[in-house]
């Protein structure tokens, strides 16, 4: 099962975007709030496909071998990985705009 949409975003750092040791460009908050340099967003067609993806990911993690896991270890510090689930967007309006 593959997600229907996938995007990876790298956080802008200045003045040199090639070096993660450079300061992050922050509009609100503190640079220390952003102890990561990228995030990935996955969107699934259904809860069932999301569950199947999670199951497969657990199987790969449990195996701790193979090409995928070797690549993952070369690219990521798994001790710092975080994952959250969010629901679809919710539009809010002021009570005065509700008809």
Q: Please provide the average confidence, as pLDDT, over all residues in the chain.
A: 75
The pLDDT value given to residue 52: 95
User: If pLDDT is split at 50, 70 and 90, which confidence band does 2 have?
Assistant: very low
User: If pLDDT is split at 50, 70 and 90, which confidence band does 58 have?
Assistant: confident
Question: What is the pTM (predicted TM-score) of this model?
Answer: 0.52
The pLDDT value given to residue 13: 65
Distance separating alpha carbons of residues 63 and 12, to the nearest angstrom: 35
Distance separating alpha carbons of residues 81 and 63, to the nearest angstrom: 18
pLDDT surpasses 50 at 1? no
């Amino acid at each position: 099962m593959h997600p229907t949409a996938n995007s990876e975003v790298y956080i802008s750092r200045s003045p040199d975007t090639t070096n993660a040791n450079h300061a992050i460009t922050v509009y609100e908050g503190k640079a220390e709030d952003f102890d990561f340099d990228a995030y990935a967003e996955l969107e699934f067609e259904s809860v069932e496909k999301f569950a199947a993806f999670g199951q497969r990911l657990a199987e790969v993690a449990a195996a701790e071998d193979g090409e995928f896991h070797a690549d993952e270890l070369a690219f990521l510090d798994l001790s710092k990985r975080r994952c959250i689930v969010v629901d679809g967007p919710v539009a809010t309006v002021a009570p005065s705009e509700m008809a």
